[in-house]
Chains A and B, each alone.
Chain A
Amino acid sequence: MTTTQALPRSVTPPPRARRGRTPGARLWEASPLTYLALILGCVLSVFPIVWSFIIASRDNSAVYDMPPTPGGMLFENIDRMLANEDAAFLYGLVNSAVVSTIVTVSVIFFSSLAGFALAKLRFRGRNGLLLVIVLTMMVPTQLGIIPLYLMMVELEWTGTLQAVIVPFLVQGFGVFMMRQYALAAVSDELIEAARLDGCSTWRIYWNVVLPALRPAAAVLGLLTFMQTWNEFLWPFVVLTPDTPTVQYSLKILSSGLYQTDYTALFAGTALATLPLLVVFLVFGRQIIGGIMEGAVKS
Chain B
Amino acid sequence: MSSTVGAAPPRRAATPARHRPQPRRSSYRLGRWDLKYSPYLYVAPFFVLFGIFGLFPLLYTVYVSLFDYELLSGTREFAGLENYRVLLADAQFWNAAYNTVGIFVLSTVPQLIVALLLANLLNRQMRGRTLLRMGIVVPNITSVAAVGIIFALIFADRYGLVNWLLGTVGIDPVAWRDNRYASWLAIAFMVDWRWTGYNALIYLGAMQAIPRDLYESASLDGASAWRQFWQITVPLIRPTILFTVIISTIGGFQIFTEPLMYGHGMVRGGAEHEFQTLAMYIYEQTFTGNAEYGYGAAMSWLLFLMIIIFALINFALVRRSVKGEQK
Contact = CB atoms under 8 A, between A and B. Distances in A.
Contacts of B152: 254, 258
Interface residues of A, number: 103
Interface in B177-228: 193, 197-198, 201-202, 204-205, 207-213, 216
A125 to B, nearest CB: 8
A28 B130 contact: no
B142 A276 contact: yes
A141 interface: yes
B298 to A, nearest CB: 10
B61 A146 contact: yes
A269 B257 contact: no
Nearest to A44: B193
B55 A48 contact: no
Nearest to A271: B146
Nearest to B207: A20
B232 interface: no
- Which DSSP category, helix, strand, loop or mixed, fits chain B's interface? helix
A21 B208 contact: yes
Interface stretch (B88-96, B97-105, B259-267): B259-267
A143 interface: yes
A131 interface: no
Nearest to A43: B135
B43 A118 contact: yes
Interface stretch (B9-17, B240-248, B268-276, B317-325): B240-248
Contacts of A273: 142-143, 146
Contact of A254 (B40, B64, B149): B149
A168 B52 CA distance: 11
Contacts of A20: 207-210, 212
Interface string A228-259: 01101100010000000011001100110010
Interface stretch (A1-9, A30-38, A76-84): A30-38
Contact of A138 (B135, B250, B264): B250
A28 B201 contact: no
A232 B133 contact: no
A167 interface: yes
Contact of A121 (B42, B125, B287): B42
Contact of A291 (B30, B42, B55, B137): B137
Interface string A93-125: 000000000000000001101101110011100
B6 interface: no
Contacts of B40: 123
A37 B121 CA distance: 8
A133 B46 contact: yes
Contact of A45 (B138, B161, B204, B254): B138
B213 A113 contact: no
14 contacts: A19-B205, A27-B124, A29-B125, A132-B47, A142-B254, A146-B61, A167-B49, A198-B27, A229-B143, A232-B256, A250-B143, A273-B146, A288-B133, A296-B243
Interface of A: 19-22, 25-30, 34-35, 37-39, 41-42, 44-46, 48-49, 51-52, 55, 63-64, 66, 110-111, 113-114, 116-118, 121-123, 126, 129, 132-133, 136, 138-151, 166-170, 172, 175, 198, 200-202, 205, 226, 229-230, 232-233, 237, 246-247, 250-251, 254-255, 258, 262, 265-266, 268-269, 272-273, 276-277, 279-280, 284-285, 287-288, 291-294, 296, 298
Given A41-B136, A49-B139, A51-B154, 7 more contacts: A26-B125, A38-B122, A38-B136, A110-B46, A145-B57, A201-B38, A262-B153
Going nearest first, the 4 A-B pairs with the smallest beta carbon separation are A144-B57, A42-B135, A25-B212, A292-B205
